[in-house]
Structure 1
Amino acid sequence: MFDYFFAQYHDYPVHEVYLELIAVFFGLCSVWYAKKDNILVFPTGLISTSIYAYLLWQWSLLGDSMINVYYFIMSIYGWYHWTRKKEDVEEFPIAVMTKKEKGMAILIFVATLVFVVIVYLYFDKFTSWYSYLDTLLTGIFFVGMWLMAKRKIENWIFWIAGDLLSIPLYLAKGYTFTSFQYIVFTIIAVYGYLEWKKILDNKKVQL
C-alpha cells in the first residue's frame, strides 16, 4: 500500500518533493482561513499558488499551472477587495451571486476552456485523459476563485466539484501528497459552505 502511494517519489528531484509539501501545507492553511472568512486566506494562498504554478508546469499539467498563476493574481485582488470598508463597515460582506454575476461566471468558464484548449493544442499536450480533465478543472477553479475574491457563497460549490475531480487526477499522475490535500480540501470546502451559509442566515434574521 505504501509503495502504491509513494514509490513514485523515488524518481522525483528532492527539491520538488519538499516544494510540494510546503505548497500543500500553505494550501491547507489557505482553505482553512477561507472557511473562517479570515483574510489570511490570501497571503497563505500566495505562497501555495506560486509554488504550484512552477511544479504543475514541470508536471505538464498546463491548465492547473495557469490556474495557480491566476490564483496568485486573484489573491492580490481578493486581499484588497476584502479589506475595503466604508465607515468601518465591510463594503463587500459574504453574499449570494446576482443574475449578472451568474452570467459573468458562465462567460469566465467558457472563455477559460477555450483558452486552455488553445494552449494544450499549441504545445501538443492532448495526449491522455489527464489533459481533458485538467482543462475542465481549469474552468471550474477559475470561476471558484473569482467568486471567492468577490466573497460569494457559491464559490464553495465550485471548490467542492473541482476538489473531488482533482483527487483521482493527482493520484493517477503519482502526486500523492497533492491528491491527499484535495481530499482535505473537499472536507473543508463542505464545512466552509455550511459556515458561510450560517453567517448569511444570521444576517437575514438580524434584518
Structure 2
Amino acid sequence: MSFTLFTAWGYEVSTLEFIAAITSITGVWLGTTGKRITWPWWALSSALYMVFFYQVDLFASAALQIVFIVAAIWGWRDWAPTGATPGYLNNRHRLFIGAGTLIAVSVLSPLLSRAGAAATWSDAFLLVGSLAAQILMVYQKVEAWMLWLIIDLAGTIQYAYLGYWFTAALYALFTLVAIVGWKRWYVLNRN
C-alpha cells in the first residue's frame, strides 16, 4: 500500500485512500446538484480508488472503477452544459434493473470467491448495483439516488467489516449525500 498519511483509532489512512475519498465526495456532492462538472471528479476519484481497491484485494470494487471512468466520460458527453434534467423510469425498466441485478450478483459472487476476493456477495452487489446506479445517473433518472442509498449502506457495512474505516466513513457520508441527491433531483424533476 501507499504511504500512511495519518492514523485514526488504530487505522492507518494511506495518502491514496485519503485523496481518493476527498475527490470522490466532491464528485458525488456535485452530482446532487445535477451539474456537468461532477463527471471529471468522478473519473479522477475512480482512477484513485481502482488502485486502492486492487491493493486490498477487492477485485470487483477495483473493476467497478473502470466502469465509473467510462461512465464519467459518457456522462460528460451526454449531459447538457446546463446539467441534468432528471426523469423517472417506467415500471418495466424498474423490474428489469431489479431482476438483472439479482441475477448478476448470483453469477458474480461465486466467481469472486474462486478468485480469492476479500468479500464476495457484498462486493458483487456493490459492483452490479453501482453499475446500474451509474447508468441511471448518466440517463438522469431520479431512481439512481434511491439505488445509491442502498449501495452506500451496503458499502459502509462491507468496508467497516473489513476494517477500512476511512472508506466506511466515506460510504456513510455517501448515504447521507444520496438522500440529498434524491430530494434535489425530485425537486428538479418537478420544476
Please give the TM-score of this superposition, normalised by the length of structure 2.
0.86
Q: 1:8 aligns with which of 5, 8, 11?
A: 11
Q: Per the alignment, in what secondary structure is the counterpart of residue 83 of structure 1?
A: coil
| Aligned ranges 1:88-107 → 2 under 5 Å | 93-99=85-91, 101-102=93-94, 104-106=96-98
In the alignment, which residue of structure 1 is the partner of 2:16? 19
Report the AA paired with residue 155 of structure 1.
A
Task: Choose the corresponding residue for 1:79, options 76, 81, 87.
Answer: 76
Using the alignment, how far apart are the partners of 2:63 and 2:78 within structure 1?
22
Instruction: Classify 1:49/1:112 alpha carbon distance in 2 versus 1 (closer, same or farther; 3 Å).
Output: farther
Deviation at 1:188, TM superposition (A): 1.1
Identity, % of aligned positions: 20
RMSD over equivalenced CA pairs, Å:
2.4
The answer to whether the aligner puts 1:180 opposite 2:169 as a matched pair is yes
The runs of 4+ residues in structure 1 deviating greater than 4 Å are: none
Q: Which residue of 1 aligns with 2:55?
A: 58
Q: Is the 8 A contact 2:105 2:121 kept in 1?
A: no
Say which is worse superposed, 170-179 or 115-124, in terms of deviation: 115-124
Specify every segment of 5 or more residues in structure 2 that has no aligned partner in the other structure, as ranges.
Answer: 1-6
> Aligned letter for 2:94?
K
Consecutive unaligned residues of structure 1, counting only runs of 5 or more, are 203-207
User: 1:34 & 1:161 partners in 2: Cα distance?
Assistant: 17
2:4 corresponding residue in structure 1: none
Given the alignment, which residue of 146, 166, 180 partners 1:191? 180
Structure label with greater radius of gyration: 1
1:141 aligns with 2:130: yes
- Looking at structure 2, the residues matched to 45 and 104 of structure 1 have their Cα atoms a distance apart, in angstroms, of 26
- 1:167 is matched with 156
| 3-state DSSP of counterpart to 1:37 | coil
Moved more, 98-107 or 63-72: 98-107
